[in-house]
Structure 1
Amino acid sequence: MTELIGWFEDIGIEDVPKVGGKNASLGEMYRELVPEGVAVPPGFAVTADAYRYFLEETGVGERIYEILEGLDTHDIAELRKRGQKIRHTITRAEFPKDLQQAIVDAYDQLSEEAGFELDVAVRSSATAEDLPESSFAGQQESYLNVQGHAALLHTCKLCYASLFTDRAISYRVDRGFDHRQVALSVGVQQMVRSDLASAGVAFSIDTESGFEDAVFINASYGLGESVVKGTVNPDEYYVFKPTLKEGFEPILEKNLGSKEFKLVYAQGGTRSTRPVPVGRHDRQRYALSDEDILIVARWVAIIEDHYTEKAGKPMPMDVEWAKDGRTGELFIVQARPETVQSQKRRDVLETYRLTGDEGPGEALVTGRAIGAKIVSGPVQLVSSIEEIEEFEEGSILVTSTTDPDWEPIMKKAAAIVTDRGGRTSHAAIVSREMGVPAIVGTIDGSQRLEDGRTVTISCAEGEEGKVYDGQLKYEVETVDLRGLERPETKIMMNVANPSEAFRLSRIPNDGVGLAREEFIINSFIGIHPLALLNFDAIEDEELKDEIAQRTVQYEDKAEFFVDRLAQGIAMIGAGFYPNDVIVRLSDFKSNEYAALLGGELFEPTENNPMLGFRGASRYYDERYKDAFALECRALKKVRDEMGLRNVKVMVPFCRTVEEGRKVQEVMAEHGLKRGENGLEIYVMCEIPSNVILAEKFAEIFDGFSIGSNDLTQLTLGVDRDSEIIAHLFDERDEAVKEMVHEVIERAHKHGRKVGICGQAPSDYPEFARFLVDEGIDSISLNPDVVLKTTLDILEAEKG
């Protein structure tokens, strides 16, 4: 006898042929993971056998395949005509009586268990979807807020019809799936009232870099469909899995999305939802609390571990979650294998970079980068689905947003630019799968880019994608990482931008020798710490308003500095975990601090800031001590709350041994005590006194990192900023090399490690070889020369 209904508690991942990928996964989680604490709403599946029974009993099946005979899916007009005819044929047909009764009875039973007539989500679940090698993202329809027998039955037929949307027909043909071999099950699941709260998606892998140790979460208000389809710019959160599993709370990064509107219930009918604007206050706060972010991340990690064990191989997952506004409870409403990054080769590194001598100029438009490629082409504006027949292959598709109906032209585009959507939107998922670069969430890209204008799309400059005017020159470097030896000398990296950390960590390395706080403070904070600490006392109302706007989510303005700095450090610490990440405390000069918002109120005017109030001298001075405490709090949060104990601390421009002691005393007051929880503290070796008294510095520090720029400047007495005597500034000078030789010898005599993080080994291969000959422990390089210098050092070590 044909089984028409399958309850979630009775089905699992082995039942894909019976209930499709989506329902099999829901059943698997409901049966296996609800006991583990993962919340999944109850429901049932109308089986694939029920679909086949419907086609056979009504005669619709043969009619469908007659209509599809001889179709060329690249003929968009013909594709549209035949698809419409099939869908009309399905929706006009009547359910066989026994199938209709089975669906109604199951719905009534679900409602009875809930204690009231349910509103349900009705989701299509094809037997060839949600496979690890093909996402079928959004190919079939889902319907929300469905209530009552008539609406449910009609919606089930709409799901059947969605198996033959234009994009679904095209997708199957392009990927070699036989239409006759694909059947559809319908999932009927109790609705989570996220229209009263928030919803979104989460991946157990970074969707851009393929970094496998992070959970990436998108969140927005209302029903999750707006996030999935990319019609809203959501919040973004990163959580680090390894220390999350150890009981820490490693929220690495939180980025506020604009969340312009939300989908809520409308009254009556099938597919009864409507968009409403989100108020300014809600747009300026995160859609999920930190507690909820961690709950979602833990569940995603549990789901990934379960499916990995089941498959016997790594199984990164793509999960949809929702929060019920009535009860405050979180639920997982879907889970499927991630289909892009998990399928990429990890042993080949492909790097795109712009090469023009004059630079790219100012970007016309910016947004979230999808992929890491660079392409050029003419802009083609497409405002609606009715215009897709006119799209020319090789053009840059620019539009407000895409949905699955756009798939036939997305595969023709050289690149895609959308006004709305985050990095888990439809446009982002499909472009990744096709290998097409995209920039999403530009806000107004379709208004600012003119039709026919030649532009260059760059997704190779970090998480921000940029559209430049004209056809710019670029190069592509491909490196095969298989069998690459590791030298005895540790090869580390200088990393400034936290947004690049996950991607850069793919380059073979031994950690980060220099992570500069200055970049994080400049780019992600932009406000002088003392201006935040003394916010209430600021008399300049215009300045106060600007600071308030940037820190609108924080009542205690100083917490903004702590959180943002901690998140920036944590992204780098997580990217290279468990290797060492050496974070240099802030080393702005007074004129650079003054350039921060509010900085002029608190900074002295110095004739020679390079040799003035900088580095270690600030940290214990009463004029800056309170601001330094914020840095210490950020570092303590990274190490003790997030569990990133691989983060070490480095003190810059430490002129005397006594100064080193004073700095460490202040650090200890704020919970950063050398040796506690494995904390190591290094000193920058960039002043001749650091070399001359290296043995005394070695008594209070765990290691040295040579800053070749300042060491050269102060050894040769050359202002490194002066173009007049620039020809005298040379790290390869014998006096500088003698300094390097001395500090390595003296530090090693006392069992201390010595590395270098200055520019010299990145610029001069012969200097890197000199360092190897001197027995240096590690060399930290700019990312673009790591592979080349690694090969040079391997050769040098072999003699």
Structure 2
Amino acid sequence: MRWIRFFHEVGLKDVPLVGGKNASLGEMIRELSPLGVKVPGGFATTSEAYWYFLTANGLKEAIAQELKDLDPDDPILLARASRRLRNLILKGEYPEDLEEEIRQAYRTLSQEAGEEALPVAVRSSATAEDLPTASFAGQQESYLYVQGEEDLLLHVKRAMASLFTARAISYRAHMGFDHLKVALSVGVQRMVRADTATSGVIFTLDPDTGHRGFVYITAIYGLGENIVQGRVGPDAYYVHKETLKAGYRALVHKKLGPKELTLAFDPREGRLRNRPTPPYLRNQFALSEDEALLLADWSLKIEEHYSGKRGAPTPMDIEWAKDGPTGELFILQARPETVHSQKTPVLRIHRLLERGEVLAEGLAVGEAIATGRARVLKDPKEMDRFQEGEVLVTETTNPDWEPIMKRAAAIVTERGGRTSHAAIVARELGVPAVVGAVGATRLIPEGEEVTVSCAEGEVGRVYRGALAFEVEEVRPETLPRTRTRILVNVGTPEEALRVSLLPTDGVGLLRMEFVFASHVRIHPLALTRFETLPEKVRRQVEELTEAYPDKRAYFVDTLAQGIGLIAAAFYPRPVLLRFSDFKTNEYARLIGGHLFEPKEENPMLGWRGASRYYHPDYKEGFLLEVAAVKKVREEMGLKNLMVMVPFCRTPEEGARVLEVMAEGGLRRGEEGLEVYVMAEIPSNVLEAEAFAELFDGFSIGSNDLTQLALGLDRDSERVARLFDERRETVKALCAMLIEKAHAKGKKVGICGQAPSDYPEFAAFLVAKGIDSLSLNPDALLRTVKKVAEIEAALDSGA
């Protein structure tokens, strides 16, 4: 055939002939199908066919004239030119031989599938797309469930006309492409019946931070258009690349999305329809863990192949679908990711300097902060109301919104997830976006100044008023290297990916109770003793755990996923997890907690830390914590996870905790497991030699050590003014511990607040030879510089 190529006949070298999307499909069918990657077959009209069609209808000159001197930033003129050009193409007639080749190729495809008229997807593929610097994603149209020769011919023509949508014209102009040097190849691909199953998008990096250690998978029910257009919030899965390659079940984190709508073909109406997803499906994950791991494996094969072809690491943006009738998974397309792969490694840390009234919350996209006047729009046709630097607030976006989005200081949408259109464009533009902010168009006042903050972890917030914020910028290679290991404190899984990109040696403190509170939310004993709970509490527990017949498994899985994401983000650097250190009043706030916790006059000095772990009234809860750590290390393969025992009053108590850990399958020294003890009680210092016989090292908890050294309750506001880690008493205890531990060959770090707050305290510890400082992320950059200065002064004898 002259004007047609079947996918198996083309590869990456054929981008000028069949466009990036179709060339990529052919490349995968030829090179990756033997490795198990499944790609549905099909054919493409060539770029030569496109030029042939234009020439036969005398359209080249008309296109050139229409686009001559067109201002791509004038939305009115752009829309008029787009409408006229598309109409010209749609009114054009196929040359007889081109039409016959399209019909013949479709018949062949149908016969191979054993169908009279095969349902197909018609996808646009520009000859300049899927380049390392420009994806052209979403600029042209695709059409799903096209069936029959006449329907196909109509939609091939529509796809060619979509080269001149307003958004496509604008995109080419801004990216510097000559309109008359970009052709349109149309891909015709066997339809994967995801409308009766599931579909989604995959990135072989974290799409928000650019962290390259993960395959990030999203999944919904029905056809994937709902994800791309941001109409639904998908399920999300993180698979860790290195441990997956090593053969572990490396699904380290998954999060249930609302999946509000299902797009499917309605045979009665002969068209696609969106319907509400039934509640029982919304409360289930759309992908099984085995399916997520299989897709991740395929994605790694795709990434490795394209990286080899391009001679450089090439993160990929991939679409996938599951066929309802057969249950098979397929890759629908793959293209290079074009946002993070183009960024220079500069660390920009945004910090809010004040707080205000929260108007709306959703998922944070990016890590920036912006202020501007809120403009609530229902339709992109209202673009004349939108001024440069305003905050776009709308229900959802699609490519028609892009001229407005390019002028926005920030974007807020009521619907969508991290791979929605709004999220992808926001990353390309480098502006913060809050997606899935339910009720935003109603809650955010039109015309009022607002602050959009995506610098507070996973949750993005829209505040009333223009709040003050600062931006710190630094190139990692300019930071000095220090002998003292610089670690970071991490509170929640949501901040781990961003923080892990900072130049640190690992995590010196991960608080298990933070993961408890944000993810598990249920008291461990309410799960181990579920059958004994009062009816009201049972219902509360059941709401969160209905997918788990064994309630213990809910705790282990949920906790392991929270910890696992953090350990994977920093892999292979060490991550030191502190077992739970809630006080009794804090445990009591968890669901069901009030049934199991005693009331104490002073919980700060009561039943906390190590004393709980071996006690018959909590031991079974601690064994669940141990099981979660065991799952992260052994099933996920994250051997960089180490553990720490808090508030251990005596060496004998430490020995009992180690015995319970061993009972649960965690043994110090086995498969490299290191176990540390917090040094936060004077007894930890005064009996340091005995503690050193049991543990691999110490981590100073300066808050509690100061409290107990000075004899004050840090929760009491009446004595708060006396709380100061810089007192000579506290410094003497720290110096003594460092000396005793080093004499026993054990390491000492500090994970308390003091080095982050007081550079002079950090200087004192470095001078005494402490092995590591674990800092809050916002104090990292300034403290690293200070430590380097101190070490240089010590080396010079100053």
TM range (shorter): over 0.9
Offset at 1:184? 0.5
Per the alignment, in what secondary structure is the counterpart of residue 780 of structure 2?
Answer: helix
Q: Map 1:260-409 to 2 at 5 A.
A: 260-267=260-267, 272-346=271-345, 348-356=346-354, 359-361=355-357, 363-409=358-404
Paired with 1:36 and 1:443, the residues of 2 have a C-alpha distance of 43
**Structure 1 residue 73 corresponds to structure 2 residue 67:** no
Pairwise CA RMSD of aligned residues? 1.4
Find the counterpart in structure 2 of residue 255 from structure 1: 255
Offset at 1:443? 2.4
Structure 2 counterpart of 1:71, which letter?
A: L
Structure 2 counterpart of 1:274, which letter?
A: R
Per the alignment, in what secondary structure is the counterpart of residue 140 of structure 2?
Answer: coil
Q: Which runs of 5+ in 2 are unaligned?
A: 794-798
Find the counterpart in structure 1 of residue 662 from structure 2: 668
Find the counterpart in structure 1 of residue 671 from structure 2: 677
Paired with 1:268 and 1:549, the residues of 2 have a C-alpha distance of 37
Alpha-carbon deviations, 1:177-217, whole Å to 9, x = none? 11001000011111111111100000001111110101111
| CA distance 1:268–1:278, shift in 2 (3 Å) | closer
Per the alignment, in what secondary structure is the counterpart of residue 546 of structure 2?
Answer: coil
Structure 1 counterpart of 2:199, which letter?
A: A
Per the alignment, in what secondary structure is the counterpart of residue 654 of structure 1?
Answer: coil
Offset at 1:714? 1.6
Contact 1:137 1:404 in 2 (8 A): no
Per the alignment, in what secondary structure is the counterpart of residue 105 of structure 1?
Answer: helix
Contact 1:151 1:269 in 2 (8 A): no
Find the counterpart in structure 1 of residue 568 from structure 2: 574
Find the counterpart in structure 1 of residue 41 from structure 2: 42
**Structure 1 residue 189 corresponds to structure 2 residue 184:** no
Paired with 1:352 and 1:764, the residues of 2 have a C-alpha distance of 21
Per the alignment, in what secondary structure is the counterpart of residue 487 of structure 2?
Answer: strand
**Structure 1 residue 431 corresponds to structure 2 residue 429:** no
Q: Which of the residues 505, 509, 516 maps onto 2:511?
A: 516
Contact 1:137 1:429 in 2 (8 A): no
Contact 1:197 1:325 in 2 (8 A): yes
**Structure 1 residue 597 corresponds to structure 2 residue 596:** no
Offset at 1:269? 9.0
Structure 2 counterpart of 1:400, which letter?
A: E
Q: Map 1:309-708 to 2 at 5 A.
A: 309-346=308-345, 348-356=346-354, 359-361=355-357, 363-539=358-534, 541-708=535-702
Offset at 1:702? 0.9
| CA distance 1:757–1:438, shift in 2 (3 Å) | same
Alpha-carbon deviations, 1:233-284, whole Å to 9, x = none? 11111111111111111212211111111110133899x3111111000001
Contact 1:137 1:426 in 2 (8 A): no
Find the counterpart in structure 2 of residue 22 from structure 1: 21
Paired with 1:491 and 1:210, the residues of 2 have a C-alpha distance of 22
Structure 1 counterpart of 2:525, which letter?
A: L
Per the alignment, in what secondary structure is the counterpart of residue 606 of structure 1?
Answer: coil
Paired with 2:210 and 2:320, the residues of 1 have a C-alpha distance of 21
| TM-score, scaled relative to structure 1 | 0.97
Paired with 1:343 and 1:458, the residues of 2 have a C-alpha distance of 24
Structure 1 counterpart of 2:347, which letter?
A: L
Find the counterpart in structure 2 of residue 126 from structure 1: 126
Find the counterpart in structure 1 of residue 773 from structure 2: 779
Paired with 2:269 and 2:701, the residues of 1 have a C-alpha distance of 69
Alpha-carbon deviations, 1:493-523, whole Å to 9, x = none? 1111211111111211111110001111111
Paired with 1:768 and 1:376, the residues of 2 have a C-alpha distance of 35
Per the alignment, in what secondary structure is the counterpart of residue 275 of structure 1?
Answer: strand
Paired with 1:653 and 1:413, the residues of 2 have a C-alpha distance of 50
152-161 or 251-260, larger mean C-alpha shift: 251-260
Alpha-carbon deviations, 1:393-444, whole Å to 9, x = none? 2221111111111111111111111111111111111111112211111122
Structure 2 counterpart of 1:74, which letter?
A: D
Per the alignment, in what secondary structure is the counterpart of residue 486 of structure 1?
Answer: coil
Structure 2 counterpart of 1:112, which letter?
A: Q
Per the alignment, in what secondary structure is the counterpart of residue 798 of structure 1?
Answer: helix
Find the counterpart in structure 2 of residue 759 from structure 1: 753
Per the alignment, in what secondary structure is the counterpart of residue 121 of structure 1?
Answer: strand
Per the alignment, in what secondary structure is the counterpart of residue 476 of structure 1?
Answer: strand
Contact 2:759 2:783 in 1 (8 A): yes
Q: Map 1:40-189 to 2 at 5 A.
A: 40-116=39-115, 117-189=117-189
Paired with 1:224 and 1:723, the residues of 2 have a C-alpha distance of 55
Contact 1:8 1:27 in 2 (8 A): yes
Alpha-carbon deviations, 1:128-155, whole Å to 9, x = none? 1121211222000111111111011111
Paired with 1:323 and 1:330, the residues of 2 have a C-alpha distance of 4
Find the counterpart in structure 2 of residue 205 from structure 1: 205
What is the number of residues matched between the two proteins?
792
Structure 1 counterpart of 2:364, which letter?
A: A
Contact 1:369 1:459 in 2 (8 A): yes
**Structure 1 residue 218 corresponds to structure 2 residue 212:** no
Paired with 2:644 and 2:112, the residues of 1 have a C-alpha distance of 61
Per the alignment, in what secondary structure is the counterpart of residue 210 of structure 2?
Answer: coil
Alpha-carbon deviations, 1:538-562, whole Å to 9, x = none? 12x3332222222233222222221
Alpha-carbon deviations, 1:79-99, whole Å to 9, x = none? 212211111111111111111
Offset at 1:464? 1.0
Contact 1:137 1:430 in 2 (8 A): no
| TM-score, scaled relative to structure 2 | 0.97
Contact 1:20 1:126 in 2 (8 A): yes
Find the counterpart in structure 2 of residue 11 from structure 1: 10
Offset at 1:60? 2.1
Find the counterpart in structure 2 of residue 230 from structure 1: 230
Per the alignment, in what secondary structure is the counterpart of residue 463 of structure 2?
Answer: strand
Q: Which runs of 5+ in 1 are unaligned?
A: none
Contact 1:43 1:110 in 2 (8 A): yes
Paired with 1:54 and 1:24, the residues of 2 have a C-alpha distance of 21
Structure 2 counterpart of 1:609, which letter?
A: P
Alpha-carbon deviations, 1:621-661, whole Å to 9, x = none? 11001111110111011111111100000001111111111
120-129 or 743-752, larger mean C-alpha shift: 743-752
Find the counterpart in structure 2 of residue 732 from structure 1: 726
Structure 2 counterpart of 1:583, which letter?
A: L
Per the alignment, in what secondary structure is the counterpart of residue 514 of structure 1?
Answer: strand
Contact 1:123 1:142 in 2 (8 A): yes
Offset at 1:162? 0.3
Offset at 1:725? 2.5
Paired with 1:462 and 1:183, the residues of 2 have a C-alpha distance of 42
Contact 2:380 2:404 in 1 (8 A): no
Structure 2 counterpart of 1:376, which letter?
A: T
Per the alignment, in what secondary structure is the counterpart of residue 298 of structure 2?
Answer: helix
523-532 or 188-197, larger mean C-alpha shift: 523-532
Paired with 1:63 and 1:306, the residues of 2 have a C-alpha distance of 42
Offset at 1:6? 1.2
Structure 1 counterpart of 2:443, which letter?
A: R
